[in-house]
Amino acid sequence: MSGYKTLLCILMILFVFPIFPENHWDNYIHEKNEGSTYLIFGDNVNLRESNNLNAKILKKLSIGESVKVLTKTNQTLEQNSVKEYWYKVQSEKDVGYIWGGLLADYSFEWNDKTILARNLGVRIGKLELKLFQNNQMLTYGTWDVGPMSNEGWNHTIYLPASFSPSPISVFGLRYLVFSEIEYGYTNEQIFTIDKDFKFVSQFSWNPGACDPPSCAESWLIFPNETLSADKKINRKATKGKPNSIIELTHSFDIDDESSHEYYQSEYIWNGTNFQKGK
């Protein structure tokens, strides 16, 4: 099979197969980790005496306040098609219960602000982000990403000064998306933040995936960067281009050490968006 057909086959499996019904993730409810600390995603959130909406309110919590998850209960609640468990949590000296849909699944600091991410569940297949500072939300947005797991969260903050005119921020958010290839694959969504502190979704890319024996892996090369050569996989050095992000994709056959094909895509910054070059 040619490298192009190999890559096309992998992409078809990644992005077409997940649309079919009765997948292995259909009944998946993502969970928070016991013993971990999470930030409040909602605002004016009730910490309750027990795990139901009629329970006594112990205190109110604002966006960005932290709680420690003590125990996952067996009780679930579904609101607006989002289904999550109730959790017993600790907020300072108070112990009570919070519905998981009011907690961020992932968060990270950016300058003096914080970005919160929430997985809306496999049924909805959306990612929701909020940016806040000093317990005040500055902006939010939602994007279709497919059926997400709560494993594999990570982020990278890139240098906005690499582009002209520079956005306020460029960052990548990584998460795991379920698929019919083994368990799932990692996706990274590239975002910018504009001068009004609004999120702008730019493009997504897949660092690597396998449907043995066919596999593929990719790298991003930013301006002023060089991806070094690698003789083991017949990779030549690739130098970044001004005002562009290069995505280099390597397709290969794990049963054939001589099978190595490379393809290059380019995303060109126009001051607002990264437009894919022809």
Give tens-digit pLDDT for 117-128: 999 999 999 999
Q: Are 23 and 178 in contact (CB under 8 A)?
A: yes
Shared domain check, 246 and 180: yes
What's the pLDDT score for residue 202?
A: 98
User: In the structure, what pLDDT confidence band is assigned to residue 103 with cuts at 50, 70 and 90?
Assistant: very high
Shared domain check, 73 and 17: no
Shared domain check, 83 and 9: no
Residue 22 burial (CB count, 10 A): 5
Domain that residue 67 falls in: 37-102
User: In the structure, what pLDDT confidence band is assigned to residue 4 with cuts at 50, 70 and 90?
Assistant: very low
- What average pLDDT score do residues 182-207 get? 92
Beta strands in 33-153 (DSSP E): 37-39, 45-48, 57-61, 66-79, 82-91, 94-99, 106-110, 113-119, 126-133, 136-144
Residue 140 is assigned to a structural domain of this protein: no
What's the pLDDT score for residue 182?
A: 58
Structural domains of the chain, count: 2
More confident residue, 25 or 230: 230
What's the pLDDT score for residue 82?
A: 95
Least confidently predicted of 23-27, 60-64, 66-70, 78-82: 23-27
Shared domain check, 256 and 172: yes
Shared domain check, 89 and 194: no
Task: Give the CATH number for residue 51.
Answer: 2.30.30
What's the pLDDT score for residue 1?
A: 45
Shared domain check, 200 and 253: yes
DSSP β-bridge partners for residue 203: 190
Shared domain check, 43 and 8: no
What's the pLDDT score for residue 19?
A: 40
Amino acid residing at 185:
Y
Contacts of 257 (CB under 8 A, 6+ apart): none
Shared domain check, 48 and 13: no
Residue 260 is assigned to a structural domain of this protein: yes
What's the pLDDT score for residue 12?
A: 44
Closest to 119 measured CA to CA, from 101, 131, 137, 132:
101
The model's pLDDT over 166-181, given as tens digits with 9 standing for 90+, comes to 999 999 999 999 987 5
Residue 213 is assigned to a structural domain of this protein: yes
Shared domain check, 78 and 10: no
